[in-house]
Amino acid sequence: MKVLVTGGAGYIGSHCVKVLLDKGYEVVVVDNLETGYKDAVDSKAKLYIGDIADESLMDRVFSENQVLGVIHFAAFSLVGESMTNPYKYYENNVAKTNRLLESMVKHNVKNIVFSSTAATYGEPEKTPIVETDRQLPTNVYGQTKLAMEQMISWYGKIYGINHVALRYFNVAGAIQDGSIGEAHNPETHLIPIILQVANGKREKLNVFGDDYQTKDGSCIRDYIHVLDLCDAHVLALEYLLNGNSSGVFNLGSGEGFSVFEMVEAARKITGHPIPLEIASRRAGDPAILIASSKKARQVLKWNPTRENIEVMIQDAWTWEKNKRY
Spatial distance between the Cα atoms of 3 and 180, rounded to a whole number of angstroms: 20
**Residues engaged in binding ligand UFG (CB under 6 A):** 77, 79, 117-119, 141, 170, 188-190, 193, 205-208, 219, 221, 259, 282, 285, 289
Residue 259 Cβ, how far from ligand UFG at the closest point, in Å? 5
3-state secondary structure 238-263: HHHHCCCCCEEEEECCCCCEEHHHHH
DSSP H helical ranges for 79-129: 79-84, 86-89, 96-106
* Contact predicate 235/304, CB 8 Å: no
Q: Phi, psi (5° rounding) for residue 280?
A: -75, 165
In the set 11, 89, 141, 223, the catalytic residue is: 141
User: Residues for the chain: how many in total?
Assistant: 325
3-state SS, one letter per residue, for 172-212: ECCCCCCCCCCCCCCCCCHHHHHHHHHCCCCCCEEEECCCC
Question: Shortest Cβ distance from residue 290 to ligand UFG (Å)?
Answer: 11
State in angstroms the smallest separation of the CB of 105 from ligand UFG. 28
From 67, 294, 23, select the one nearest 161 (Cα to Cα): 67
| Smallest gap from residue 208 Cβ to ligand UFG (A) | 4
CB of 156 to ligand UFG, least distance (A): 23
Query: Is residue 173 left, alpha or beta, with left meaning phi > 0 and alpha meaning psi from -120 to 50?
Result: left
Residue type, 30: V
Minimum CB separation from ligand UFG for residue 113, in Å? 17
- Indicate if 141 belongs to the active site: yes
Position with the least CB separation from ligand UFG: 219
Do residues 49 and 32 touch, judged by C-beta distance below 8 A?
yes
- Coil vs helix vs strand at 312: helix
Question: What span, in angstroms and rounded, lies between the C-alpha atoms of 163 and 239?
Answer: 10
* Residue type (1 letter), 141: Y
* Residues annotated catalytic, as ranges: 141
